[in-house]
């Protein structure tokens, strides 16, 4: 009561690895919403009681007034915690859409952490970005930092097979093979963890 569950929800998110999602805690989320409903009902009940007694809700200073005030503050605090939980998860989902989702489906181990609404949000956000880029004929997802060289050396981390055609060549991307590729071609595979850039 009075915000403890909402605090647990925010603390759970804050204790996670930065930029990584835990499974959406639907049970605790619903418990906080139920607590909000209880605070709302108690608040309405106290206000009705004061009005029935002929007291001015804004100016009366009795036990009912302070009880209503506590329920009101608890309700606001719970709502803020719920919004913080959803907002921070949405920011990570937007980042995932920029890094991975524009080109391919997310891996199953990431998708299973989404709630149903988050999964729809991810799809809609990715779709909007793709539509925007197609209208501009520009891939805004590459070269977030201006490159020093348009080509980079990469190592393949997982077997991608042969027949993959990139902008200027096709090659057999067997596991542990190394290639000199255009940065724009390699970035989608680096973002998905299928290749790594070799420096030095």
Q: Do domains 4-136 and 151-198 have the same CATH topology?
A: no
pLDDT at 17: 83
Per-residue b/e over 140-149, b at no fewer than 16 CB within 10 Å? ebbeeeeeee
Supply the pTM of this predicted model. Answer: 0.68
> What percentage of the chain has pLDDT greater than the value 70?
90
Quick one: average pLDDT of 59-79? 88
pLDDT mean over 52-66: 80
Distance CA 152, CA 125 (A): 30
* Strands lying side by side in the sheet with 151-156: 178-182, 151-156, 195-198
| Residue 185 near residue 166, CB atoms below 8 Å | yes
Band of residue 1 on the pLDDT scale cut at 50, 70, 90 = low
In the predicted structure, residue 103 carries a pLDDT above the cut 80: no
- The stretch 53-66 carries a mean pLDDT of 80
- Return the half-sphere exposure (C-beta side, CA atoms, 13 A cut-off) of residue 94: 7
pLDDT tens digits along 149-198: 778 899 988 887 776 767 767 777 888 888 888 887 888 788 778 889 88
What Cα–Cα distance (Å) separates residue 174 from each residue in 102, 152, 157, 178, 192? 24, 18, 8, 9, 16
Q: Report whether pLDDT(92) > 60.
A: yes
Measured torsion, CA atoms of residues 95, 121, 192, 89, in degrees rounded to the nearest 10: 50
158 contact partners, CB below 8 Å, separation of at least 6: 175, 193, 194
The reported pLDDT for the residue numbered 96 is: 82
Average pLDDT over residues 6-11: 91
Q: Tell me the torsion sign for CA atoms 137, 144, 148, 199.
A: negative
As a whole number of angstroms, the longest Cα–Cα distance in the chain is 83
Provide the CATH number for the domain formed by 4-136 in this structure: 1.20.58.1030
pLDDT value for 143: 60
DSSP state of 98: I
Q: Which residue has better confidence, 189 or 72?
A: 72
Structure token digits, residue 188: 């989608």
When pLDDT is cut at 50, 70 and 90, the band that residue 142 belongs to is low
Is residue 144 very low, low, confident or very high in pLDDT (cuts 50, 70, 90)? Answer: low
Architecture of domain 151-198: 3-Layer(aba) Sandwich (3.40)
pLDDT (tens digit per residue) in 113-133: 898 899 888 888 888 888 888
Domains in the chain: boundaries: 4-136, 151-198
**pLDDT value of position 77:** 94
């Amino acid at each position: 009561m009075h915000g403890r569950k909402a605090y647990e929800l925010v603390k759970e998110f804050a204790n996670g690895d930065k930029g990584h999602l835990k499974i959406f805690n639907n049970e605790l989320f619903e418990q906080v919403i139920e607590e909000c409903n209880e605070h709302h009902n108690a608040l309405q009940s106290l206000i009705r009681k004061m009005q029935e007694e002929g007291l001015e809700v804004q100016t009366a200073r009795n036990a009912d007034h302070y009880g209503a005030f506590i329920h009101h503050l608890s309700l606001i605090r719970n709502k803020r915690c719920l919004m913080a939980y959803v907002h921070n998860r949405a920011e990570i989902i937007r980042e995932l859409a920029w890094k991975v989702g524009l080109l391919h489906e997310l891996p199953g181990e990431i998708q299973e952490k989404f709630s149903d609404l988050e999964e729809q949000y991810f799809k809609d956000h990715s779709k909007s970005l793709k539509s925007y880029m197609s209208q501009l004929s520009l891939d805004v997802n590459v070269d977030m930092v201006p490159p020093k060289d348009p080509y980079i050396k990469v190592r393949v981390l997982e077997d991608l097979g042969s027949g993959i055609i990139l902008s200027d060549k096709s090659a057999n991307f067997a596991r542990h093979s190394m290639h000199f590729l255009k940065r724009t071609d390699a970035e989608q595979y680096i973002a998905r963890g299928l290749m790594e850039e070799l420096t030095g």
